[in-house]
Structure 1
Amino acid sequence: MASCFAFLYSYSLQTCLLLDSSVTTNPYFLYDRNWLYFVKSNDCPVSWIRNGGSSYCFVKKRLQWRSSKESCISMGTHLLAIETEVEKTWIQDKASGDSWWIGGTDSNSEGTFYWEHSSKTMTYTNWYSNQPNGDANENCVSMEGDGSWHDYSCNHTFYYICEK
């Protein structure tokens, strides 16, 4: 069985193509410009922390939401989807004091937030008072140090949490 060294991802087609070797020149010129190139990495820059049925990687590098999402994808994971109060409390304890991107967005359905990796509408939420409040200008969800959620412009830079 061949192993995956890298992959291409198309947002428009929502499709991955696995590669068994790296691309030596800029893949944006080798393929349609709608394809993004990732070198596969199974390693969290720090270490994976296991809790319940999931593992979490807390990345203390400030990126925009889309770049955070792409970084998680390159690790074979997704931005965090907080689905219970118990999970939120555990994450909050590990991430206290900082703002973190999580995988919530309403970019394809203004006002209805969903988990980007699964497209499932959020059933558990922990919005801060008067949040979400950004209309079409704030489509990405962050978790603050107190555990509350805010919608921000996806161009802000925060730390991020990957989940697998």
Structure 2
Amino acid sequence: MLKESTNLCTFLYLLLISLYSEWFVKCNTNLNKIELIKLSEYDNLLPSLEHFLMELKDMDHIECTMACLMNKLVCAGVFYNNLTKFCKLPTNHPNESMVYDTQPGWEFWKNIGCDPGWLYHSEHCYLLTHRKTSWHDAQLQCESNGAFLAEIKSAKENSWITEKLMDTNMFVLQESQGLPDFTEQVWIGANDIDNEDSFIWSETNSTLNFSNWNQGEPNDEYGEDCLAIIHKTGKWNDLPCSSNLSYICEKRK
């Protein structure tokens, strides 16, 4: 399975190389995913770093990219020299504070995959945090990570969060503790604090063009002004903002 997936990625990579001079590589399988975008401002430049993650000789483009894929959690990108066939994998993205050597043939592709622990979906990255807190504190925690409480804008996104993000994280955690709880609820980023029964997404200040309310919700039974999503069903519920729940952060790529 891994070999077939890698061959598919290689085919797509070669196809893109043949079509574009400014390459954008996006390779997705059930087992592997890497995204690299070429930054031409670093052509013929190489940072003078004491330690790269990896330095490889006699490599072609594909092999260099695959090396980054195999170390995708710590690989910040790919420096590749077309003239010498030399591959270097940095652990930090190039920046203005680095000192560079000018050497012909070098090109750099930035790894634009999600940070470790975050999951990728449709140009966004998501993180489910199990530490329980209030809605407002969850919002602050997301902001401290350059993110926001998740805003679910479509049925497709709602299904992905329910089936992939929440199911693979929350159920495993609870089952390992002997406490499977299919009614577990998780904070997402809408509230009706300012205008009762008019929920808005807090990050974009936009109305809910898509919703997936549980039967009888929202009901504001106990002054419930903040939005949560129910594990397993993916249905939505309003709860008091002071309730302590896990939460989902989201950030754009």
Q: Quick one: distance in 1 between partners of 2:215 and 2:222?
A: 19
- Look up the SS of the partner of 2:214 in the other structure: coil
- Look up the SS of the partner of 1:151 in the other structure: strand
1:30 maps to which residue?
none
| Aligned: 1:88 with 2:174 | no
2:215 maps to which residue?
129
Where does 1:63-78 land on structure 2 (aligned, <5 Å)? 63-78=133-148
Where does 1:135-150 land on structure 2 (aligned, <5 Å)? 137-145=223-231, 146-150=233-237
RMSD: 1.7
**Is the CA contact (8 Å cut-off) linking 1:110 and 1:135 kept in structure 2?**
no
- Look up the SS of the partner of 2:157 in the other structure: helix
Where does 1:12-161 land on structure 2 (aligned, <5 Å)? 47-93=117-163, 94-96=165-167, 97=182, 98-134=184-220, 137-145=223-231, 146-161=233-248
Q: Greater RCO between the two (CA within 8 Å, min separation 6)?
A: 1
**Residue identity matched to 2:195:** S
2:172 maps to which residue?
none
Q: Which residues of structure 1 form unaligned runs of 5+?
A: 1-42
TM-score of the superposition, structure 2-length normalised? 0.46
- Look up the SS of the partner of 1:56 in the other structure: strand
Q: How far is 1:135 from its partner?
A: 6.2
Q: How far is 1:108 from its partner?
A: 1.1
**Aligned residue pair count:** 121
Rg (Cα) greater in structure? 2
Q: How far is 1:136 from its partner?
A: 7.7
Q: How far is 1:106 from its partner?
A: 0.5
TM-score of the superposition, structure 1-length normalised? 0.70
Deviations 1:54-83 (A, max 9, x none): 100110110000000000011111000000
2:61 maps to which residue?
none
Q: Quick one: distance in 2 between partners of 1:108 and 1:66?
A: 14
**Is the CA contact (8 Å cut-off) linking 1:100 and 1:158 kept in structure 2?**
yes
Q: Quick one: distance in 2 between partners of 1:105 and 1:128?
A: 16
Comparing 105-114 with 93-102, which one deviates more in the overlay? 93-102
**Residue identity matched to 1:53:** E
Deviations 1:92-131 (A, max 9, x none): 0121343110001001111101101111011000000010
List 4+ stretches of structure 1 deviating above 2 A.
none
